[in-house]
Every structure is written in C-alpha cells, then in structure tokens.
Amino acid sequence: MAFLEASMVNKIYHDKKKQEIVALSNFTLSVEEREFITIIGPSGCGKSSFLFLAAGLEPLTSGVLKFNGKPVKGPDPLSAMVFQEYLLFPWKTVRENIEFGPELRHVSKKQRRESSCNLIKMVGLGGFENRYPNELSGGMQQRVSIARALANKPQLILMDEPFGALDALTRETLQIELLKIWQQAKCTVLFVTHSIPEAVYLADRVVVVSKRPGTIKEIVDIDLPRPREREMFTSPSFIEYERYLKNLILEEI
C-alpha cells in the first residue's frame, strides 16, 4: 500500500460565472514513504491544486485520495504545507512562530523549547531566535516556515514553489539545506517547482503534469547518487535528465 495514493482524482472549480474549470483529470500517483517527489508542468496545469487536495485544504470532485491508508477528508496533523509566501506571524519571533503548532496541540513548554532549539539549529538560524520576520531576509523567513512545518513532526511535507521568490544564490543554498533536512527528518516530500534543474537535483522521481486539465504525462526516475553535490549540474547524466524533461514540458506548451 502506497504512503500517499491518488487514483483517478478529478478537481473542478467554478468561476464567477459558474462555468467549470477542470484543474485535474484522472490524476493517478503513488508515493512511497520517505520519497522526495518533485512535480513540474506548464503554468496552470493543476500542480498546486494537487498539493491542496493532498493537504486536505480542498475537497476532491471525484476519485480516491488516501494518506497512510485513510481517505483524505481534511487537514491531517501528520502532514504540513509550505507555501511560496512565508505566511509567518509578524508579531511573533522566530522561536514563537516555530512553537505555534505544538502550542496549539498543548505540548508542554519544555518540550516546545527543546524542539524549537533543535529545529532552529537544523535550519541554520542559530542566533536569530528572538528576531521578528521583518528583521529577516526572504531566505531566512522561508527557513522559519520550513522549521514551523517540521515542528509538528509531519510524515508528509507538501511544498508549493517554496523557493520561487528567492534570488539564485539563496535558492541554491536552501536546496542544499532542504536535502539535509529531509534526510534528518526522514519524512516524505512533494515539491512543486517550475525549475527543471531544481526538480532533477532534489528528486527521487520527477512527476511531469500535462497542460490543463492536469494529468500525469510521465514519471521520470532520477538515478543520481545521494548525497547530491552541486557539481553534478554539469554532469552528462544531469544534463540529459534536464534536456529530456524540458522536451516533455515543451510538448505541452
């Protein structure tokens, strides 16, 4: 049984004129525990819609979507979502933002503090515990968002273009850090991106979604060694994966 399983999932929205917009059609995907899956495709193909469905933030129109063997009927404490926007509480410090979820779950103050200390160290924010979001760079704010997601010890993390608004150097740094965090946290990650090199660098498998209505065009296994090094971006294997995936996307545009 797959860790996350979507079978013939359909999602239909309605615009202001009550006309149907089919975002996903017969979307079928099986994700195994501790996999790192990246999802790419043309703009508006339903990539983010699938993450919202998997997170329980949107209802299915039809089909079956299961997480840990149970139908997804709403947000699950064992899953967490990280958005492109940082969505931090501006009146809370780094530590307070990270401890917010555990506090809602009535985790003791001692346990919250121990967990937040470990997470702050994990995401490289030591010394910034008492800073507020407006005192941090975009990359640092996204590190807080990731740590806040990890604070609830999720088994599944859904990431919707989390590095899309960052400059190239910060993005590269956070890609490296995310792989380290994923390996330490031993969780499953679904990561939506428009960057093909990023998709290849991070993933065990890359899911290519067709133009809307989104369905899975192809799933490409990435047979590159871990831990991943930045030098592999210029390797023949990496370049071939990038070329192949780019052609798949261009066919849809």
Domain span at 54: 1-33+49-74
Does residue 115 belong to any structural domain of this protein? no
Q: Is the pLDDT of residue 213 over 90?
A: yes
Q: Does a structural domain hold residue 143?
A: no
- Asked whether residue 70 is assigned to any structural domain, the reply reads yes
Per-residue pLDDT at 248: 97
How does residue 97 score in pLDDT terms, banded at 50, 70 and 90?
Answer: very high
Using a pLDDT cut of 70, give the percent of the chain over it: 100
Smallest CA-to-CA distance from 173 within 146, 144, 206, 140 is with 140
Residue 170 belongs to some domain of the structure: no
How many domains does one find in the chain? 1
Read off the pLDDT of residues 4-60 as tens digits, 9 standing for 90 and up: 999 999 999 988 888 899 999 999 999 999 999 999 999 999 999 999 999 999 999
Q: Does the reported pTM lie above 0.85?
A: yes
Dihedral sign (CA 117, 122, 127, 131):
negative
- Residue 116 per-residue DSSP state: H
pLDDT band at 1 (very low <50, low <70, confident <90, very high): confident
Local confidence band at 140 (pLDDT 50, 70, 90 cut-offs):
very high
In a domain, 16, yes or no: yes
Residue 135 is assigned to a structural domain of this protein: no
CA distance 18 to 37: 34
Mean pLDDT (the chain) is 94
Contacts of 191 (CB under 8 A, 6+ apart): 36, 37, 38, 39, 159, 162, 199, 202, 203
Q: Is residue 180 assigned to a domain?
A: no
In a domain, 18, yes or no: yes
